[in-house]
Structure 1
């Protein structure tokens, strides 16, 4: 009878130990998930704040622009790509209205620079990629290090 109780006790203790291990693992996973959720909420809040600041700066900049460039003057409007554009407004090569402050020469310089840098990036070869994982950090290495 004592042997049977001892075997039953051993089974009960092993079962209890396994349940405690599962509980510990579940708590760790829950803690990690809650931390990730909290971090995601903080990122979303920061992005919303930055978006609202950018919108307010944009509205302030639009209010500070001279009225002659924002309002429709007595000049006749021309229909370009389904949009009404004043005749005195400068149009880019693609028919879009250029924003004040960006001249055609600056746009052409930026376009040329973009093309040359894109060609350089396309020619660049990745020589070696190493993944080193340590806890939650992932480090990578490439030709540009």
Structure 2
């Protein structure tokens, strides 16, 4: 099954070494057919620059390594337009809507995210799943 990933999945794998969330994120990245948008790369790069003391070269190397684990999709005008439809209907944040729109545009039915509503279905096409939420939550 193909999975579309929100930025937080990449960040847990990059920044939270030794935690349960990092272990889950690593497993997803190594064992699944993972897809992201260019938006996700931008958000991850920005967060690493703001929240770590890594050099630009180290950030570039880290991002390059993760690029080899996923399929990357562009944010096109069609994705942007669909993203607006998601914003208007579901009132989601702009960047979240664009990531969801990119998943829809690429035929991927599951988006993994910690930040969006677990189990929410967008346009009856994509289901948001929080991979860190325990079954009892």
TM-score (norm: length of structure 2) = 0.24
Q: Which has the higher helix share?
A: 1
Q: Which has the higher strand share?
A: 2
TM-score (norm: length of structure 1) = 0.23
